Structure 1
Amino acid sequence: MDIRTPDWVKDAVFYQIFPDRFARSERVRKAGHLQAWGEPPAFHKYQGGDLLGVVERLDYIASLGVTAIYFCPVFQSASNHRYHTHDYYRVDPMLGGNGALREVLDAAHARGIRVVLDGVFNHASRGFFQFSDLLEQGQDSAYLDWFHAGPFPLSPYDDAKPANYAAWWGNRALPKFNTDTRAVREFLWDVAEYWMRQGIDGWRLDVPNEIDDDEFWREFRRRVKAINPDAYIVGEIWGDAHRWLMGDQFDAVMNYPFTRPCIAYFGAQTLDHRMNEASGTGHVDAISAEQFGQRMTEVAHAYPLEIVQAQLNLLDSHDTARYLSVVSGDHTAHHLALTFQLTYLGAPCLYYGDEIGLPGGPDPDCRRAFPWDDEAGWNHQTLALIRRLTAARHASPALQRGGFEVLHAQNDLLIYSRVHGESCAYVLMNTAKKSQVAALHDLKPGSYLDALSGQTVAVAEQSVCEVSARGAMVLTRV
């Protein structure tokens, strides 16, 4: 089995952006009926973020140590989240249009930052031209076989009547494509190719398991990789993904099996079960250090190493409550989880605002506007922590590509190693509310720098060190 994933992903730090809520630019003409920036988000209201706002904040994004951006959908749509695609070849004018995406690509690439777009290929929208034709022409539509529709008439708005067409989870706003139709397949593959030729660096695929057709995705991969062999294809699969990770479909998936144990362990003392259960990640029970070490070892070996190194590791996203809110605002839990995320195997993905402690409950509250004008309200300790961690990761081949081995997991103390050739790193994490003494006899002797404190730690055969309460150390070879 010849499995190859993009080399750059193995060293990447991702940053997920929900465009309507990240930043506004004065260069993009605004619609007249917008929420004030920073008002509580609503399902159907816009706050007016745009892509040129992202361009104007790229230096800030780069300062986080970010090397890749994953955008939620940017194509024309009648929704603030833009998962209701109207035109797959047109960037939403509210975001600045195709020219704004061109500017994002050029400015990001000039800074060494890759750009991955969200591909919503399972379903379109009621405003999608071919579906509009179906609504107008009924069974005489030229696009009858583009959807799973009939008997007629269809009912796209009246919930009292059967919709009479297949839609994503029964949502009438999201008619499902009939990907058995050759014209539909060619259309979707052409969209993927078109934007690859414009210079994007990959696709995040929305609910790809609902296109239950391996050959569709194999051809998708062939066409995308023919344009850019280094393109990243990452699927939104919430559970076991072996079917799609055989080297012929996706490079990786959004690693929710990483997310749940991080909630269960680091958030064990402050976990808000009701919020978490409402957020998409489902019920989790608190787990011990031993259980966490065992679970994360399993996650590290769930797929071939080439794929594990490319997995997109996230603590939260636009689909879940923010991690900080799930743990009831416990910044120590958030900091421990971030430390683990940025020192574990795979590609860490920060959700915009997490770096400043932006809270948020389940959708739509997890999609709050970034508070650019309230820097005093930012959690600067979290911001500094992330910058230290990303700097350490970029400086250490072990933290980027090393294996993962648990050396100690007992009594709220976790120690693990990352080793890659001659490069090695060790992470010590204490989830207890009091400091603990850690024995370092499993570490290679030598002098290490703690990336979090900046202090040098000497390791010899009988060495011990103190790990602060609810704290961590990230030791890299000096």
Structure 2
Amino acid sequence: MNQIYNEVTNKKAKNSIWKEIIFKLSDESVKTVHIGVYPSHGRYFRKKMKYKGGGIFKIGIDLPKGKFFYHFFFNNKFDSPKNDEQFVISKYDYQKKASFVLETEIFCPIQFSNKPHCISHIKDDIWEVRLITHQKWISHVALVEGTEEYPFSIAYTEKNVTFWFARLKFVKSEINFCIKFNGSNQTKYLHDNHKICDSPITEFLFTTPLEKRNDYLPFRVGYQVFPDRFHRIPEEKNSLNLVEWGGEPTYSSLFGGNIKGIISKLDYIAGLGFDFIFLNPIFFSKSYHRYDCIDYERIDPVLGDEADFNELIEKAHRLGLKVILDISLNHCSTDFFAFKDILENQAKSAYLNWFEIEQFPLFDETRHYYSSWHGYKDMPQFNFDEKEVQQYFMNVARYWPQKFNIDGWRLDVASEMPVSFIKEFVTSSRKVKPDLMIIGELWDNSLSDFVVDSGLDGITNFSLYLDSLIPFFQYESVSISNLVLSIMKVQSRNSFSVNQSSWNFLSNHDIARFYSIIKDKRKYSLAFTLIYGIFGTPIIYYGEENCMNGLADPDNRQCMEFESGETSDFVHETIKKLNRIKAAYENIFNFGSIAFPLVDNKNKVMIIQRSYAKDSIFLVFNFDDIDHQYLHPITYSANKEADASMVAKIKRYSAEIFFINEENGTFELL
């Protein structure tokens, strides 16, 4: 069995960590080992490890803090990544990625910093302050500003970790404060730079400018469409040499799903209650997935033409559906005009600086000599230091919202591109349409500075998926309390607005379909209810509502199945109901706080409370295979002492949703 040893030492800049990886291998046929690394921020890279004898390979690398992924290659076989199965994030991941977290935090009883992920504007003059305490003796927390004290409430406690929040009203442009925490007959005050004092000290106070953001953009729930696999009109094959619709997909299958097919199903999507659709790339490309773009200002002819796309946008908008496009700015096709010129003119090309070229000729029998996405030679990576590359993409940023009135972007592999470039792309897009929603693909949710500095609205929330949903629903390896602890940790890393805009999902085109991997399929609809109930924007991958199966790529990209059976009918109706509730109680889900008033590991019952002003939504879950009794949400809403009349029952594998208004006593089972 392979053995991996990790030795971490602080050796370089404060935002990176020197990491030494020692890899022990018992297979004597392996003569060379390369490690491939997906850093939390920056481009994938591959390096050869040094052989130290005795089957031991070693390498030292400097990495940014956060979660990174890695895999290995033996004997220069770069098309066959390797890893020990007990380390990989999923046995269905053909890239065999394993994860490792690099964190360096100054220990403090209170985890708090003067940044947007701890102090967020909510709406109007309302702000939310969040922090985490790590010692049991702390029983009360308050924000102290001058002579005023603002107490915090508990969102969740697990052992010695407590998540606190306070909703405060400020009408000023700046606050100067410290954090008071007390218990066990002692009181302390947290100041800037982790300074803890016995009383407030003016010169050490936190100073925070209160800059309001625009109200939350109205993107409640989304539906992801993979264009080649969704629907084809006309349904018969044409001259494009398409694969028979519904056949087994391969890495190169072209089924011919098109824009006309999507248009014909917009009523279906709107009827489910979604308010936006997310389209995987539609730009002219060589492949069915279209992440290897040839022309960023041309629709792939297989999909249709500009008239078709205009019709899609116009009909979607009439139905109340916004349209978000997926775009891969980091890399392109070898047929992209600039790279094609390099292939033709070699060192004399006028576009040499558009890419990162090592030497000529660009290819030999064993490898290619230019930077490419994750080592795939058909996807050369752009050099974003080149001004002409920047200008080209700023034109693209303006082109689609200006000509077609699109409503947003999802930026593929955003963490692999420079913050400054993304910021410029975001700014250029919004000069045309200020309310564009722009989401970045991130596999690590610890890059709060990256998200804020780049101007992104939100991210693809892979951390929620990998750290919370998979351990609980697929492996069933964690308790409900650990599920909640993980959810709270994920949401503590970014600001309230970023959390709200970020996409929560169970499946997408990069991972196995959730219905295929969830251990107990009776919990499938509960998983949807969970991602709707917490912070974030739920996005449903095409066919999930009909319980489509599919493991690793390409199996997770099968042709859409619109028919549903008895089980999928229930899921179908669950999603419609969740979308209806999300729309009807928009203020609560857009601006509401979150708390977990009940987490019962023994009976597998959990309650989520979302509250805004005097209104609350309670989501009650029973993950067990038997019915259970629990205290009715009215007890938590009104802070009443429990009695027999307040005991309710929830059926096995079910979720109930309640609306309660504390002011007038309104109560409703939704």
Which one of 512, 520, 535 corresponds to residue 345 of structure 1?
A: 535
**Secondary structure, in 3 states, of the residue corresponding to 1:404?**
strand
Verify the 8 A CA contact 1:439 1:462 in the aligned structure 2.
no
Q: Secondary structure at the match of 2:452?
A: coil
1:183 equivalent to 2:388? Answer yes
Tell me, yes or no, if structure 1 residue 142 matches structure 2 residue 345.
no
Computing the radius of gyration from Cα coordinates, the structure with the larger value is: 2
Q: Which amino acid aligns with 1:316?
A: S
> In the alignment, which residue of structure 2 is the partner of 1:131?
339
Closer/same/farther in 2, CA of residues 255 and 460 from structure 1, 3 Å limit = farther
1:243 to 429, 446, 449: 449
- Correspondence for 1:8: 217
Deviations 1:318-369 (Å, cap 9, x if unpaired)? 00001111115x4322111011112221111101100110111011111010
Look up the equivalent residue of 1:172 and give its one-letter code. K
1:389 and 2:578 matched: yes
Matched with 2:471 is: 264
CA distance in 2, matches of 1:56, 1:31: 22
* Structure 2 match to 1:465: 648
1:380 matches 2:563: no
Looking at structure 2, the residues matched to 445 and 28 of structure 1 have their Cα atoms a distance apart, in angstroms, of: 61
CA deviation after TM superposition for structure 1 residue 162, in Å: 2.5
Give 1:244 shift.
2.2
What does residue 500 of structure 2 align with? 309
State how far apart, in whole Å, the 1-side matches of 2:215 and 2:400 are: 18
Q: Does 1:474 align with 2:657?
A: yes
State how far apart, in whole Å, the 2-side matches of 1:178 and 1:308 are: 31
SS at match of 1:384: helix
Of the three residues 324, 331, 334, the one matched with 2:521 is 331
Equivalent-residue separation in structure 2 for 1:262 and 1:138 (angstroms):
49
Deviation by residue 1:347-402 (Cα, 9 ceiling, x = unmatched):
11101100110111011111010123x44588211101111111111111323432
Letter in 2 for 1:424: S
Q: Distance in 1 between matches of 2:348 and 2:443?
A: 39
Contact 1:6 1:230 survives alignment (8 Å): no
1:289-438 map, 5 Å: 289-328=480-519, 330-372=520-562, 374-375=563-564, 379-396=568-585, 397-411=587-601, 412-438=604-630
Q: Percent identity?
A: 30
Q: Report the Cα distance in structure 1 between the residues aligned to 2:236 and 2:443, rounded to whole angstroms.
A: 36
Q: Deviations for 1:439-466, whole angstroms, at most 9, x for unmatched residues?
A: 12643259xxxxxxxxxxxx98851211
Query: Which residue in 2 is equivalent to 1:96?
Result: 304
1:243-265, Cα deviation, whole Å (9 max, x unpaired): 32226421110011221212222
Instruction: Answer whether contact 1:30 1:48 (CA < 8 A) is retained.
Output: no
- Higher alpha-carbon deviation: 117-126 or 242-251: 242-251
Cα distance in structure 2, aligned partners of 1:20 and 1:467: 42
**Larger strand proportion of the pair:** 2
Could you say what secondary structure the match of 1:94 adopts?
A: coil
Residues of 1 paired with 2:652 and 2:530: CA distance? 16
Contact 1:7 1:230 survives alignment (8 Å): no
Cα deviation 1:277-334 (Å, max 9, x = unaligned): xxxxxxxxx2111111122122233212122111111111100001111115x43221
Partner of 1:34: 242
| Equivalences, count | 443
Q: How far has the Cα of 1:210 moved from its partner? A: 1.4
* 1:435 shift after superposition: 1.3
- Once the two structures are overlaid, the 10-residue window that deviates more, 461-470 or 312-321, is 461-470
Q: What is the one-letter code of the residue matched to 1:331? A: K
More RCO (CA 8 Å, sep 6+): 1
Partners in 1 of 2:582 and 2:297 — Cα distance?
37
8 Å contact kept, 1:5–1:232? no
Question: Residue in 2 aligned with 1:75?
Answer: 283
**Amino acid of the structure 2 residue aligned with 1:296:** I
Q: What letter is aligned with 1:413?
A: V
Residues 402 and 237 (structure 1 numbering): CA distance in 2 closer, same or farther, change over 3 Å?
Answer: same
Q: Measure how far apart 1:14 and its partner are.
A: 0.6
Instruction: Supply the AA of the counterpart residue of 2:492.
Output: H
What secondary structure is seen at the aligned counterpart in 2 of 1:8?
coil
Superposed displacement of residue 65, structure 1: 0.8
Report SS of the residue matched to 2:533. Answer: coil
How far residue 241 of structure 1 moved from its aligned partner, in angstroms, is: 2.3
Matches of 1:287 and 1:365, distance apart in 2: 28
- Choose from 435, 440, 444 the match for 2:637: 444
1:15 alignment partner, SS class: strand
Give the equivalent residue in structure 2 for 1:48. Answer: 256
- Partner AA of 1:423 in structure 2: D
State how far apart, in whole Å, the 1-side matches of 2:573 and 2:338 are. Answer: 49
User: Which of 378, 381, 391 lines up with 1:173 in the alignment?
Assistant: 378
Aligned to 2:665: none
**Mapped partners of 2:538, 2:326: distance in 1:** 17
Distance 1:460 1:85, change over 3 A: farther
The alpha carbon displacement at 1:104 in A equals 1.2
CA shift, 1:152, in A, is: 0.7
Q: Distance in 2 between matches of 1:402 and 1:184?
A: 42
Instruction: State the match for 2:78 in structure 1.
Output: none
Is the Cα contact below 8 Å between 1:258 and 1:299 reproduced in 2? yes
Q: TM-score, normalised by structure 2?
A: 0.63
Aligned to 1:134, the other structure's residue is in SS state helix
Counterpart among 358, 366, 369 of residue 161 in structure 1: 366
The answer to whether the 8 Å contact 2:407/2:437 transfers is: yes
Distance 1:140 1:72, change over 3 A: same
Letter matched to residue 264 of structure 1: P
CA distance, structure 2, for counterparts of residue 29 and residue 131 of structure 1: 33
Question: Matches of 2:270 and 2:567 in 1, distance apart?
Answer: 18
| Pair 1:61-2:269 in alignment | yes
- Secondary structure at the counterpart of residue 380 of structure 1: helix
**SS state of the match for residue 93, structure 1?**
coil
